[in-house]
Structures are given as structure tokens and as C-alpha cells.
Amino acid sequence: MAGIVVVGAGQAGASLVAKLRALGYQGPLTLIGDEPVPPYQRPPLSKKYLLGEMALERLFLRPESFYAEHGIELRLGRAVTRIDPASRRVFLGEEALDYDQLALTTGAEPRPLPAAMGGDLAGVHLVRRLADIDRMAAEFAPGRHVLIVGGGYIGLEAAAVARQRGLEATLIEAAPRILQRVAAPETSDAMRDLHLRRGVRLLEGAGLSRLTGEGRVTGAELADGRRLEVDFVVVGIGIMPAVDLAQAAGLRVENGIAVDDRGRTSDPAVWAAGDCASFAFRGARIRLESVQNAIDQAEAVAANMLGAGAPYAPVPWFWSDQYETKLQIAGLNTGYDRVIVREAGAARSHWYFAGETFLAVDAIDDPRAYMLGKRLLEAGRSPDPAALADPATDLKSLLR
């Protein structure tokens, strides 16, 4: 019996194999990862781990012994080079593994700066893997100047860590405002104010022409002619789904590895979950780059591989820790046409609507608003926007 093979040993892959065993699957089960360490959490990498507040062992999702105890063959430091759906085999170089069912949890990779822009200079760092963080850790010494390229969550979190470690930090964002792709102007304004108060130099609408230096980065030239002297650079300009294996195997790829509402790809024996997988949501094909989706979609796929036949219908949620501030997001704001702002002291929340339909909430140091918004979304209910806009309205009353 060939059994089940899972390619990609991140959050989704680890969740999928654990769920298969929890649901009673007794057959052969192999998890393959190209990193030399067991599956680990990614969110703390660029925050608590980089700050030295979390030991390596605490990053691991489960002790390595868990996999052996549950009959999961863990292949670490091994890259799958090819998939042959016709023979149902995956290849690790010359070695071939047969499968009855295959799950792809290959995740995503950070988008690099092109070499022509200086992206290959020493001292230019990407943020995704444990090895990336270990490489850049020594750079974060007090008094040094880091340039952060990209004003999304990765860039803002890197800026927060830099300031907490006593570095000078300049963040450049080519778009007119930070978080433009993912958040309303109200959320951008709140996060900009947070970083300015903490001493980050924020340059919005500032495109990068190129990084400069002989072998190692020492400066940057901006599109408007400004020049910056820097000690190192952190690049956070988005991630790309890891689809090369799927594409080469002839699977359908559309903004990621395309799956149906059960998580099955265009090949009935192959499934996908996590950052690499795209699925239909509100009339579009989306990917969700979050821990929540990696776990929930992987567990749904595990059940469906065993015959559950249940559609995956997520209520997305995300979070970002910056300094002592926690931004929590429930839902997806795509298609919103208005935002209602609620403030309660230092806490604030931004509620997204399309007409009268509630889509999402951004809660800044406001866990109560986040939890209530999440519960409303899970129940498929939209609060009255006028009541929500009234500061006298008790949020709990919106659930009644």
C-alpha cells in the first residue's frame, strides 16, 4: 500500500498529517520538508524569535518525537524535484515514492528584489524561513540603520523589531500609503501614527530605484533621486505561492494551485492546502496567507481525503503584533464601500461594509470588537451600521 504523501512541512503540512491520524487513518503517511528542522511556527520568527524572546525549540509545532510516535515518516532537508501524476509518484532526486493520495502544502516564497536593483547584494534579507532570520539576526545591533522595503505587515513588523532593538529604521513604500493593498485608510493612518511615534522614518509614495554597494549594500537610491545610507536591508514586498511542482505536473494553477471547495486539485488523487492553494470565495479565486487558513484548510482536506466530502467555508482571521500593539482582523474587506470607526480610549476598531452587508473588522488593541465581529461573521449576520456608528451602542447588543 503506497499511502498518503504530503509535500511541504510547514503549518499546513504538519496540521494535515496530525489530523489524518486523529481521524483514524492507519495507512503509510510521509511528510516531506526541504528544511532541516521539524515543522515550526512562522509568525514568531520575525518578532519574538528575532528579539531573542523565544528559543528555537519553542518554535516547533510539535516535538520531533510526535511524528515517530504517530507513525508519520518525516523526511527533512529533502526537496521534491518532480511529481508524476500518471504513475502516482513523487521524486526526491533519483529516489521515487509511490502514493495513493498526495497533498501539496508547499506554502509560498518571498518576492525578491531583482538582481538589477541590487537584490543579490550581501546584507539584503528576505523574511520567510528560519534560516532567513538566523542570517539577519546579527545585523540587528543597536545604532545601525536598516532600510525596510515594503509597507505591508512584514515590513511594519520588521520596523517594530528594529526600533525595539535600538536601530534606526527607514521604511519605504512605493504605494501612496502603507497597507494600501489590505486595509482601509483609517487602519493605515493608525499604524502610521504608531510607527512615527516610535521613531520610524516612514516614506510613502517612495519607489526604490536600486540598492548600491560593492558586494555589500551600503545605500539606496529612490525614484525621486533621494539617496540613503544604510547598513542592511529587509525586503518585504509580498510572497508568491510555491506552484512550480504543481505546474510542472500539469495541475491547474490560477493564483496558486487551484482547488475545489473540498481542497482537491485538477487531479483527483492530488490535494492542496495553505498559502499555495487558491479556492473560490465570493465569486473570486483567492489565497489566504494566514495561520488560520493553513490549519483549518489542511484539516478540512485531511477529512476529505478520508471521504468526508465537506466543503471548506472559512471565516478568515489574521493578526499582526507591532510593539505592544495587537492588530486583529476578522473577515475579508474586499469590495467594501464604507468604514465605520469606533473608538474607546486607546482601543479602536474599523468595520467594513458593502452596502448593508458586514464584511470585516480591523481591531486595534480591541479584542472585544474583534471577537464580536468574528462571531457576527460566523453567524452570517450584519449589524445595523447606524447602531454600530453610535458610540453609545453596547457592542454585545449587536449579537441579539
Would you say residue 290 has pLDDT above 80?
yes
Assess whether 272 and 131 both reside in one domain: no
Would you say residue 256 has pLDDT above 80?
yes
317 part of a folded domain = no
What's the mean pLDDT in 232-258?
97
Q: Which residues contact 290 (CB under 8 A, 6 or more apart)?
A: 316, 317, 318
Q: What percent of the chain has pLDDT over 70?
A: 100
* Predicted pLDDT at 242: 98
Domain containing residue 104: 4-109+239-305
* 382 touches 336 (CB < 8 A): no
Q: In the numeric block, which cell numbers belong to residue 98? A: 509511490
* Predicted pLDDT at 132: 96
Q: In the numeric block, which cell numbers belong to residue 300? A: 478540512
Would you say residue 400 has pLDDT above 90?
no
Would you say residue 379 has pLDDT above 80?
yes
For helices 11-22 and 291-305, what crossing angle results, to 10°? 40
What's the mean pLDDT in 302-312?
97
Q: Please, which pLDDT band fits residue 283 given cuts at 50, 70 and 90? A: confident
* Angstrom distance (rounded) from CA 154 to CA 295: 20
311 part of a folded domain = no
What's the mean pLDDT in 181-193?
97
Q: What percent of the chain has pLDDT over 90?
A: 94
What's the mean pLDDT in 354-367?
97
Q: What is the pLDDT of residues 16-63, one digit of tens each?
A: 999 999 999 999 999 999 999 999 999 999 889 998 899 999 999 999
Q: Which residues contact 217 (CB under 8 A, 6 or more apart)?
A: 118, 121, 122, 123, 124, 211, 230, 232, 233
164 part of a folded domain = yes
Number of structural domains found in the chain? 3
Domain's final residue, options 305, 336, 360: 305
Report which residue type is found at 85.
Answer: P
Assess whether 147 and 94 both reside in one domain: no
Assess whether 259 and 357 both reside in one domain: no
* Predicted pLDDT at 63: 93
* Predicted pLDDT at 157: 95
Assess whether 192 and 269 both reside in one domain: no
159 φ, ψ to 5°? -65, -40
Assess whether 38 and 50 both reside in one domain: yes
* Predicted pLDDT at 106: 98
Q: Which residues contact 260 (CB under 8 A, 6 or more apart)?
A: 279, 280
Assess whether 122 and 204 both reside in one domain: yes
Q: What is the pLDDT of residues 97-147, one digit of tens each?
A: 999 999 999 999 999 999 999 999 999 999 999 999 999 999 999 999 999
Assess whether 225 and 121 both reside in one domain: yes
What's the mean pLDDT in 151-163?
96
Domain's final residue, options 177, 203, 235: 235
Q: What does the mean pLDDT of the chain come to?
A: 96
74 part of a folded domain = yes
Q: Whole-model pTM?
A: 0.95
* Predicted pLDDT at 237: 96
Would you say residue 1 has pLDDT above 80?
no
Q: Are strands 325-331 and 338-344 parallel, antiparallel or unpaired?
A: unpaired
52 part of a folded domain = yes
Would you say residue 172 has pLDDT above 80?
yes
